Amino acid sequence: MKLAYDGRLFIGSQRQPGLRTVESETIDALVNIGAISSIAESRFRFSSRTDRGVSALGNVFSFVTSFDRKSLLRALNAASLDVMYYAVTEVPMSFSPRRARQRWYRYLFSSDNMDLEMVEQCATLFEGRHDFKGFCKPDGRSTVRTLNSFRISSRDEILVADIKGREFLRSQVRRMMAAVIEVGSGKISIDEVASVLDGKAKCFGVAPPEHLILMDVDHGLEFETIYSPTLNRKVTTYRMDVASRKEFIDSLCARLA
């Protein structure tokens, strides 16, 4: 199932005891409508973890249920306050949402005092296969990853960074964006960023999470989008309440159209 949420409303996506997260709200809704009886029996799994403040338009989770897909989406949207569920498909029991073909992140930042040419050059530097140990929060895993593309576009006074890769390390996107913004504002040089990619120990900071959106997770699956009346009411109310997140809600509405 595909879902969307405004990350500013949650502590993060991953379950944490006593805290409101995307997973906890989703699991509570599934239990309340009778779609699952327990997490273990349902084999509930999320595709991508998002930190506090990070939003999503196309995160994915999987679970086992006997519910009809149309009634399931309608009931879920009625039972869950701040998560929007909009597409569903059936998968084999062996399916793991963690094993995606590609993840697509989008970061929005102001063009004020930004040198667009330098921003683009810095973004290109990250493309390809690198050791990103200087641009992540290490967790014991290998820090070598392949970035398929890192593209910058301009929309009025906003710069849009679209970053695509099969998998990302914790805080990798926000740390890369911090470096890009520092280069674009003239505070550091591209050579300094390149030296960290080559192994030099230095941190350029972590960009704010509120400007980051997980746009989609691609598993090569064909999803059925179901714009139920309960989802329509949620989106309409959300559009009126959060004008500051125009990019987020406009993108969601375009996806549902």
Which residues participate in catalysis according to the annotation? Answer: 51
Answer yes or no: are the C-beta atoms of 238 and 249 closer than 8 Å: yes
C-alpha dihedral (124, 161, 99, 91), degrees to nearest 10: -140
Q: What is the DSSP string of 72-125?
A: HHHHHHHH-SSEEEEEE----TT--TTS-SEEEEEEEEE-TT--HHHHHHHHHH
CA 66 to chain centre: 28
Joined together, the tokens standing for residue 73 give: 């989406």
Q: Which of 67, 160, 145, 82 is nearest to 114 (CA)?
A: 160
Amino acid letter for position 205? G
